Structures are given as C-alpha cells and as structure tokens.
Amino acid sequence: MSTATETGRDAPRKRLLRSVAAQAAVLSAAVHFLWAWPRLGEPVDLRPYVFVLGGAFTVFIAAATLRAEEYRRLYALGAGTLSAFLSGYIGWHGGDTAAVLAADPLAIVGKASELVGVIAFLGLYRLAPPTSAVVERQNSGMNDDSGGDRGGSGNGDGVA
C-alpha cells in the first residue's frame, strides 16, 4: 500500500524531476539573458527583446514549478516554452544548425538545458494527476480546515 508521500507532490521522483525542470529552465533563461543583454541596443534585431521576455517568462515557470501544486498545464507550459526555444533555434539557423551550435559554447549549454528541461517537464506531466483532481483535493482541504463539510448539495454554493 502506498502512502501519500509516495504518490503525492512530495514523492521522491517528483521532487527530483521538479528540481531538474526548474534548474534547466533557469539555466536556459540565463543563457538567453546573457546572449541578449549586449545586443539590446541594436535597433534592427528584435531577438534580444524577445529573449529577455522569454527568459523572464521561463523564470516564472520555474518558480511556479517549485511552489505550486501539481498542475499538468504548468508542466505542459514549461515543456512547450523550452521546446519553442529549441525549435526556434533550429528554425532560425536551418541547415547550418549543427555547425552554428558547435561553434557557440553558450548555445550548447542553452540547448542542452532546454532538452533536459523538456524531458523533466514531460516526466512531471506524466506523473501528475489531472488538474481537476488537484483542484478537488484543494477544495476538500479547504473544507477540512474550516471545520468540516459545508453541507448541502456539495456544489459549493452554500445552499443546504
């Protein structure tokens, strides 16, 4: 029989995946910030501004991954954001992607962290319960904290 700590948010595998996903996302964001910062004054290239916004968004996803409940939508958002960085790099460089990647150590770190992050976020997504189950668990936790069930129809409208 499994306990709540083996299957809940604090299961060892989930804690590990959450940590890896958040660290990979922050590392990817840092690489984007490092690339963008010296190029922010270039008026013809919008990529630095997009990278700063994308990096900030990625940091918010990482923080939410560490702090929030198990939300599949959050994990899908993390995997999707890092996948967008990966596919955007490949789309930008096209057939020269391998040569450009090999010549840029910062890009190697960024793309490796994004790949690891996508795998970790997908693992979290697979292990997480459906979002409706998490919301229901939160609602039942609120009922327990307030001294029991609200009574009535159980639909949360407070009518008996």
Do the domain assignments include residue 1?
no
Do the domain assignments include residue 92?
yes
| 18-41 per-position pLDDT tens digit | 999 999 999 999 999 999 999 998
Lookup: tokens for 128: 């997480």
Q: Report yes or no: 97 and 73 within 8 Å, Cβ to Cβ.
A: no
Do the domain assignments include residue 120?
yes
pLDDT (0 to 100) of residue 69: 87
| 64-102 per-position pLDDT tens digit | 999 998 889 999 999 999 999 999 999 999 999 999 999
Do the domain assignments include residue 150?
no
Do the domain assignments include residue 25?
yes
143: confidence class by pLDDT, cuts 50, 70, 90: low
Residue 146 pLDDT exceeds 70: no
Which one has a higher pLDDT value, 36 or 6?
Answer: 36
Give how many domains the chain has, as a whole number. Answer: 1
Range of the domain at 29: 12-140
Q: Report yes or no: 86 and 47 within 8 Å, Cβ to Cβ.
A: no
Do the domain assignments include residue 3?
no
DSSP 131: H
Alpha-helical regions (H) of 9-151: 12-36, 47-67, 72-93, 97-102, 105-127, 131-145
Do the domain assignments include residue 122?
yes
pTM of the complete model: 0.79
- The CA radius of gyration of the chain, in Å to the nearest whole number, is 20
Do the domain assignments include residue 98?
yes
Of the candidates 69, 82, 80, the residue with the CA atom closest to the CA atom of residue 32: 82
Residue 139 pLDDT exceeds 90: no
Residue whose tokens read 């997908």: 122
Provide the residue count of the chain: 160
